[in-house]
Structure 1
Amino acid sequence: MTRYLPPAILVVLALLPLVLKDPYLLNALITGGIFTIGAISLNLLLGYTGQLSLGHIAFFGIGAYASALTTLGFDIGIFGDFRIVHEGWHPFAGFIVAILLSGACGYVVGRLSFRVRGAYFVIVTICFAEVVRLVALNWVELTQGPLALTAIPQMKIGFPGLGEITLRTKAQNYYLMLAVAALAYVVVARLVSSRFGRAMRGLKENEQLAISVGVNATRTLTVAAAISAAIAGAAGSIYAHYFRIIDPDVFLFTYTVTMVIMVVSGGKGALAGPVIGGLIFGTLPVALRPYMAPEAQWIVYGAVLIAILFLMPRGIAPYLDDWFASRRRAPARAPVAQPQLEGQP
């Protein structure tokens, strides 16, 4: 049943800007949607390969910085007097560079770190995210360090025969976020339903058995990490061009935790899981803000998360699947009336 949820959610979300006039709420939806894209990318690793990446925000931040620097341009010195000068490109080119560079970083990290599993892989990803954050903080000539990259150009999209559109309004950026989220969902859906997706699930369920039937574990996990990182980089690019300012705080560990919460609460390994989790935990802080203090907001946030995990340990999407399946089976289990024999009272 939950396979019908994402299309229904997509239709509802597409209609929201037509009825939602509050720019603050629309801004919250854009921000929550951007991190939902990150959660969709994380679900590819955590949900379908069983590998927990606690440094996933590194690829998000790499995408943000790559897109911003590609668009702004830079002039940096390398090896003394040798300099690299780059003139700013079109913002959409920055979006493509963000995807490619983040995917390449994901491939390299996966190639190096998937020689280990479990807690060792988690530690490697955390260390990678911290190294990238320190590079962004200290390479002032390139990233401006704590001063942040500012005046990042707004995203521009061209259509054949219609010219070019600069996404200036919140509604325009909202639809860009929604389009990228839908595309990311479709890519993950097609991937997990393919032969490659069956290999990923096989490694998650029984790695030794999957290897024994010919699955190359390192290559499969590395490619999954690269695709996951590329999707996270796309989310980072949208973030950079929407807010038009980024600093090393984009690599905060809190953002990775937010993505993990979205995946786990919605249902890891379920396509609709990150979407449902993102809708709840991406908008819940905004919904609570007018009614309670920040401390109380976090208490309610945590209470909702605990309640979901206590009542639905596998997440919301699998719970809904089981509930609808049990409703469909209910008529089949109804007692069948026995024919009454003659003379029987």
Structure 2
Amino acid sequence: MTRHLPALALLAALAALPFALGHDPYLLNALITTGIVTIAAMSLNLLLGFTGQLSLGHIAFFGIGAYVSALTSLGFDVELLWGLRIVHEPWPPVVGFGLAVLATAGCGYLVGRLSFRVRGAYFVIVTISFAEVVRLVALNWVELTQGPLALTGIPPFSLGLPGLGSVTLRTKMQNYYLVLVVGTLCYALISLLVRSRFGRAMRGLKENESLALSVGINATRTLTLAAVISAAMAGAAGSLYAHYLRIIDPDVFLFSTTVTMVIMVVGGGKGTLLGPVVGGLIFGLLPVALRPVMVPEAQWMVFGLVLIVIQFVMPRGIVPGLARLATRRRASEPARVPVEVRP
């Protein structure tokens, strides 16, 4: 139970944060978007932190989740080859969320099966190429995605509550707690995975792949499953993004978002559970503090400087660095020897 105390304390603080901010809509919007990107960073950490595989095309799963969920809830009418026409009537956004998770999980499986035969720099190139192909499809398939004109009027989530009927999540406060709940579930799932036999197999492949293979770990199957779960979580984040903003365009596939995810993971501490969360909060809210005083280009410079300072002071990231400092402090404290008092 003690090892979960930092996570529980952070969860309690995040649950109470909107009340401390006085329900400020600007800050709530920043927290919601930061939370959504943090969920995507957590999914990236499952690959980068626990298997050592760097995906620079992770934004593709995020964008696919956004478009699948949006199109499911909006409906579409498209003509394919040989006069085949597909007409889809709008479904509830919750169904779109589920389909976004399934669709991105399937994409993660395909990318994993194809690319985990070649790892290292080759895997990075494959993931970047996949993201660019998906972006071009979203940009040019105007009949389905509206291309640069964007999909608009995406409905917000509606949740059926026993005894209360259906509740439509329109306010920022409602969306904030929806993102917090989804993020908590993703964190719990990752925590269970990394402490399971599957998690030990992932870490084994990261630390010493030859040794892991010698004891019977199937590298391709393990890494592909990690890619499937990681992609599904990124798709869930994309679905939240689409139904919160209620408008998406091909800019959702911007490479800079993937870079932001990597910064969150590395700065917070890759291979740790809380690392992407802490890094996500810092690097997600940093632009909010910098926006009034500098242009976006200068913000990226500050991003780089902050990351360099963190890596210089805490080479493994913020969370491992703080854990090491706490361990050293406990070790340096003198042991308390009980004093025997005699009458």
What TM-score do you get using the length of structure 2 for normalisation? 0.95
The Cα of 1:251 is off from its aligned counterpart by 0.4
Q: Which runs of 5+ in 2 are unaligned?
A: 338-343
> 1:117–1:12: structure 2 CA closer, same or farther, 3 Å change rule?
same
Kindly provide the CA deviation profile for residues 295-345 of structure 1, in whole angstroms up to 9, marking residues without a partner as x: 44333332211111111110001111111111222236x699xxxxxxxxx
Q: Which of 290-299 and 88-97 deviates more?
A: 290-299
2:189 paired residue number: 187
How far, CA to CA, are the matches of 2:313 and 2:208 in structure 1? 27
The two structures, once aligned, show a CA RMSD in angstroms of: 1.5
Partners of 2:287 and 2:312 lie apart in 1 by 21
Distance 1:74 1:126 in 2: 28
Q: Which amino acid aligns with 1:307?
A: V
1:24 matched residue in structure 2: 26
Native 8 Å contact 1:100 1:230 kept in 2: yes
Q: Distance in 2 between matches of 1:226 and 1:294?
A: 34
Specify the alignment match of 2:203 in structure 1. Answer: 201
Structure 1 residues 1-345: aligned runs within 5 Å: 3-20=4-21, 21-331=23-333
What per-residue deviation string (whole Å, max 9, x for no partner) do you get for residues 192-228 of structure 1?
A: 0000000000000000110110100000000000000
Q: Distance in 2 between matches of 1:292 and 1:2?
A: 40
- Whole-angstrom distance in 1 between the partners of 2:316 and 2:277: 15
Q: For each residue in 1:69-89, what CA deviation from the matched residue of structure 2 results, as whole angstroms up to 9, or x when unmatched?
A: 010011111223211111010
Question: Residue type matched to 1:33 in 2?
Answer: G
SS in 1 for 2:247: coil
AA aligned to 1:169 is T
- Which AA in structure 2 matches 1:15? A
Q: Structure 1 residues 89 and 26 mapped into 2: Cα distance closer, same or farther (>3 Å)?
A: same
Indicate if the aligned counterparts of 1:263 and 1:274 stay in contact, CA closer than 8 A: yes
Letter in 2 for 1:269: G
Residues of 1 paired with 2:259 and 2:101: CA distance? 22
Give the residue type in structure 1 aligned to 2:129: C
Name the stretch that deviates more: 48-57 or 137-146: 137-146
Structure-2 separation of matches of 1:170 and 1:278: 19
**SS at structure 2 position matched to 1:314:** coil
Displacement after TM superposition at 1:291 (Å): 3.4
Contact 1:136–1:143, Cα closer than 8 Å, also in 2 = yes
Tell me if structure 2 keeps the 8 A contact 1:2–1:320. Answer: no
Paired with 2:295 and 2:36, the residues of 1 have a C-alpha distance of: 25
* Secondary structure at the counterpart of residue 216 of structure 2: coil
Q: Deviation of residue 256 (structure 1)?
A: 0.2
Please identify, of 309-318 and 6-15, the stretch whose mean Cα deviation from structure 2 is larger: 6-15
Instruction: Report the Cα distance in structure 2 between the residues aligned to 1:148 and 1:309, rounded to whole angstroms.
Output: 39
Task: Report the counterpart of residue 341 of structure 2 in structure 1.
Answer: none
Q: In the TM superposition, what is the alpha-carbon distance from 1:272 to its structure 2 partner?
A: 0.4
> Secondary structure, in 3 states, of the residue corresponding to 1:80?
helix
Which letter maps to 2:47?
L
Aligned to 1:340: none
Instruction: Give the whole-Å Cα distance in 1 for the aligned partners of 2:313 and 2:200.
Output: 29
Deviations 1:131-171 (CA, angstroms, capped at 9, x unpaired) = 00000011111111111100000111112222111010000
CA distance in 1, matches of 2:276, 2:175: 21
Higher mean alpha-carbon deviation, 127-136 vs 155-164, is at 155-164
Gaps of at least 5 residues in structure 1 are 337-345
Larger Rg: 1
Pairwise CA distance, 1:282: 0.4
CA distance in 1, matches of 2:195, 2:17: 31
Identical-pair percentage: 71
Query: Hey, what's the Cα distance between the residues in 2 that align with 1:2 and 1:79?
Result: 56
After the TM superposition, list the runs of 4 or more consecutive aligned residues in structure 1 that deviate by more than 6 angstroms: none
Aligned 8 A contact 1:2 1:321 in 2: no
Q: Deviations along 1:249-284, whole A, 9 cap, x unmatched?
A: 100000000000000000000100000000100001
Contact 1:2 1:272 in 2 (8 A): no
Instruction: Give the drift of 1:289.
Output: 1.9
Q: CA 1:36–1:105 in structure 2 vs 1: closer, same or farther (change >3 Å)?
A: same
Query: 2:177 is matched by which residue type in structure 1?
Result: Y
Q: Retained in 2: the 8 A contact 1:6–1:275?
A: no
Structure-2 change in CA distance of 1:124 and 1:294 (3 Å): closer
TM-score (norm 1): 0.94
